[in-house]
């Protein structure tokens, strides 16, 4: 089909098939893809608002048995660089987040075999007891699956227990590409197959949780497989309506086992624009400036994105693979306004919370990303002694401490 026919279909509000999406992705000039995506975004969000959230990305542990080949963040069980944060360290991070006007943690980590479900429940309860109203956007789909397998508790029951303890919503991490051929090549099939990733999200949506959805592109997948990923998300969204937003980011190759090259800025913008056209039932698309940098992040607002994601206070995962972009609220707002939009703070449900905090009161600037722990910090949190460790290495370490 000619590109102008497909463009006409999109402009008329028609839904693209996988074949049509692939043709547009491969053949349409970048400015055409951008214009179509920008128009669709304008229909969904007719005002000039661009949203962002103030939260903190906290990685509670880097110990992981999944060992995905694209990941530079994890450490194997027994590694001297392995850590699990203590509850007090997490409380301190929450207090710093609140000081900056934030109200949520994005809490994710490795698949640590020495943290049973009770550890998560106790942490969530303790957070809610100390900081009522503070939100926990926590544990990606594969982490929920890992806790389910480790604790021999079904996925719906894990979700029920975590929600009872204080879980508010689930981030869309760990999706990578939802095609099992790709997942096997990336060594992430065993942590969660495509169906398993989607099934955790299905259970979460049925339990009343809202979640996001992500895509890590640019590793070993084909363009058709990127579209298959989007189609699977679109199908689940038709079924449950539980996704609030979609975030695409490019594979970051430094220090990974897989190596290779990072996708270019144009490839990112084309992929983002295509996602806006295919995912006609997901309202919000985030600009992934964390992997693309602020300048491409700002351009994303003309390629379908209507949200600048999170003010970055702390980041460990992408930085481990070579990208360390930092934008605080002042910088995010400057980029939004310079692109001709009106910045508004939001929560995870995309409800508007208000004007930028720094215009209401003095808050500290964040010019450098925080890390999970200071270099050389290897202390073992005191409360870990209350939980059984599965690995011999961790049992010995806890005993020795």
Tell me the β-bridge partners of 343. 50
The alpha-helical segments, DSSP class H, found in 241-366 are 265-278, 289-299, 317-320, 329-338
Among 58, 68, 312, 321, binds ligand SF4 (CB under 6 A): 68
Distance CA 101, CA 355 (A): 11
Any contact of residue 110 with ligand SF4 (CB under 6 A)?
yes
Contact flags string 298-337 toward ligand SF4, x per CB under 6 A: ----------------------------------------
Local structure of residue 379 (DSSP, 8 states): P
3-state secondary structure of 66: coil
Residues 188-227 that bind ligand SF4 (CB under 6 A): 188, 191
| Structural contact between residues 97 and 141, judged by C-beta atoms closer than 8 angstroms | no
Query: Chain centroid to CA 400: how far?
Result: 36
Number of residues lying near ligand SF4 (CB under 6 A): 12
3-state secondary structure of 144: helix
Q: Whose CA is closest to 138, among 183, 202, 204, 87?
A: 204
Among 66, 98, 207, 258, binds ligand SF4 (CB under 6 A): 66
Q: Whose CA is closest to 115, among 174, 189, 60?
A: 60
Q: What angle do CA 219, 224, 227 make, to 5 degrees?
A: 90
Any contact of residue 74 with ligand SF4 (CB under 6 A)?
yes
Any contact of residue 111 with ligand SF4 (CB under 6 A)?
yes
Work out how close the CB of 139 gets to ligand SF4 at its nearest, in angstroms, rounded to a whole number.
11
Work out how close the CB of 153 gets to ligand SF4 at its nearest, in angstroms, rounded to a whole number.
19
Task: Choose between 73 and 325: whose C-beta lies nearer to ligand SF4.
Answer: 73
Binding region for ligand SF4 (CB under 6 A) out of 29-37, 65-73, 97-105, 120-128? 65-73
Binding region for ligand SF4 (CB under 6 A) out of 63-71, 118-126, 205-213, 247-255? 63-71
Binding region for ligand SF4 (CB under 6 A) out of 68-76, 115-123, 162-170, 262-270? 68-76
Local structure of residue 131 (DSSP, 8 states): S
Distance CA 52, CA 352 (A): 9
Distance CA 201, CA 121 (A): 20
Among 37, 64, 220, 326, binds ligand SF4 (CB under 6 A): 64
Work out how close the CB of 79 gets to ligand SF4 at its nearest, in angstroms, rounded to a whole number.
12
Any contact of residue 73 with ligand SF4 (CB under 6 A)?
yes
Chain residues that interact with ligand SF4, rule: CB under 6 A: 64, 66-68, 71, 73-74, 110-111, 142, 188, 191
């Amino acid at each position: 089909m000619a590109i102008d026919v497909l463009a006409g279909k999109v402009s008329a509000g028609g839904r693209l098939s996988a074949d049509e999406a692939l043709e547009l992705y491969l053949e349409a000039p970048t400015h055409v893809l951008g214009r179509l995506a920008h128009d669709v975004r304008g229909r969904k969000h007719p005002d000039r608002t661009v949203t962002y959230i103030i939260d903190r990305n906290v990685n509670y542990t880097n110990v992981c048995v999944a060992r995905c080949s694209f990941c530079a963040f994890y450490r194997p069980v027994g590694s001297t660089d392995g850590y699990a944060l203590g509850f007090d360290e997490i409380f301190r991070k929450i207090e710093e987040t609140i000081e900056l006007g934030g109200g949520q943690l994005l809490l994710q980590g490795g698949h640590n075999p020495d943290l049973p479900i009770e550890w998560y429940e106790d942490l969530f309860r303790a957070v809610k007891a100390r900081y009522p109203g503070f939100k926990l956007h926590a544990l990606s789909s594969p982490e929920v699956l890992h806790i389910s397998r480790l604790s021999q508790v079904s996925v719906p029951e894990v979700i029920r227990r975590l929600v009872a303890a204080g879980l508010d919503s689930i981030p869309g991490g760990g999706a990578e590409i939802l095609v099992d051929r790709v997942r096997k090549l990336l060594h992430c099939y065993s942590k969660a197959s495509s169906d398993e990733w989607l099934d955790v999200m299905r259970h979460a949506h049925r339990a009343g949780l809202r979640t996001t959805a992500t895509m890590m592109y640019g590793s070993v997948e084909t363009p058709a497989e990127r579209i298959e990923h989007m189609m699977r998300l679109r199908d689940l969204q038709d079924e449950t309506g539980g996704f609030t937003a979609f975030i695409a980011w490019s594979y970051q190759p430094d220090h990974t086992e897989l190596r290779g090259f990072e996708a270019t800025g144009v490839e990112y913008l084309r992929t983002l624009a295509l996602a806006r056209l295919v995912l006609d039932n997901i309202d919000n698309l985030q600009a992934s400036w964390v992997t693309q940098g602020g300048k491409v992040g700002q351009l994303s607002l003309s390629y379908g994105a209507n949200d600048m994601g999170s003010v970055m206070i702390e980041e460990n995962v992408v930085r481990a693979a070579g990208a360390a972009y930092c934008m605080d609220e002042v910088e995010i707002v400057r980029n939004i306004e310079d692109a001709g939009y009106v910045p508004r703070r939001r929560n995870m449900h995309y409800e508007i919370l208000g004007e930028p905090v720094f215009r209401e009161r003095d808050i500290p600037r964040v010019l450098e990303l925080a890390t999970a722990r200071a270099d050389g910090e290897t202390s073992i949190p005191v409360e870990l002694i209350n939980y059984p460790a599965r690995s011999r290495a961790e049992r010995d370490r806890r005993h020795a401490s």
